[in-house]
Amino acid sequence: MIENWEEFYEKMEKLSLSDLEVMIKELYQKFQKSKAYSDDRLNACLTQRKYLINRNFIFTPKVVKHIERVNSILTKSTAKVLKRTEFLYSQMVQLKAKGDDFLDDFNVEGTVAVAYNGEESILTFDKDENNGQSDYHAMADVLDFTNNAFEYLRTFSISYGGNLFPGETDDKFIIDETMELNWNIELLSAPELSSIEYFCYASHILFVDSRYSLSDIIRINDFWNEVKVTHQNWGEKLTV
């Protein structure tokens, strides 16, 4: 909880974009040292930064192409991760059915995320829509480090919890109703984006729910798809 929050918000809302980012960097350094899970003041500043940038943002044809690029990558990533998650689950079921003596249980989890790994993770444009007021690399680092609520844009998880007999199969597939819907709502309903026929749910999370501004998003050049399999064995127990 922010102490004297009215005073803090009043001060924050008067800052220019460049001055606000100076405050963000200072708060970020303190946050890193604190080892806390979250920082309300830092989050408030990032939210205000997103508001300032998006409020004056102009959807030029070049910008629309980059928004389409990001959405296309996230749409394809969602489908790939979902497919691989289900594929690996099927493989694990077959392994279990063959009598693997380690597998008491298992879980397969797939994730889609934005990553920041240095300069190559951010695109550099000839024209800066914010007139040099934003340090996109520094802000990308802050956003990546503090994006706890939306660490992953999409997550798919399948856990095994039954008992299979020899020759038996367990065909379990993820039903993802979000893929059936077009998430061209709220910010993504802008008339300038009407040429993009479909926005995936991951795009909705990134553009609308996260603290990434439009200027940050169109510069993203690093996405991360991952599927993890957890093999679980409960160990030996004494029989009473």
Contact between 110 and 229 under an 8 Å Cβ cutoff? The reply is no
- pLDDT class of 165 with cuts at 50, 70, 90: very low
* pTM of the predicted structure, to 2 decimals: 0.89
- Establish if 36 belongs to a structural domain: no
Instruction: Print the domain residue range for 214.
Output: 59-232
- Establish if 17 belongs to a structural domain: no
pLDDT given at position 167: 44
- Establish if 171 belongs to a structural domain: yes
- Measure Cα distances from 89 to 81, 178, 229 in Å: 12, 21, 8
**What pLDDT, in 10s, does the model give residues 177-211?**
788 899 999 999 999 999 999 999 999 999 999 99
- 35 Rama class: left (phi>0) / alpha (psi -120 to 50) / beta: left
- pLDDT class of 164 with cuts at 50, 70, 90: very low
CA distance 109 to 101: 22
CA distance 125 to 116: 17
Identify how many contiguous H helices and E strands the chain contains and give both numbers. Answer: 7, 3
- Establish if 48 belongs to a structural domain: no
**What pLDDT, in 10s, does the model give residues 86-96?**
999 989 988 88
- Establish if 101 belongs to a structural domain: yes
**What pLDDT, in 10s, does the model give residues 205-233?**
999 999 999 999 999 999 999 999 999 89
> What total number of domains does the chain contain?
1
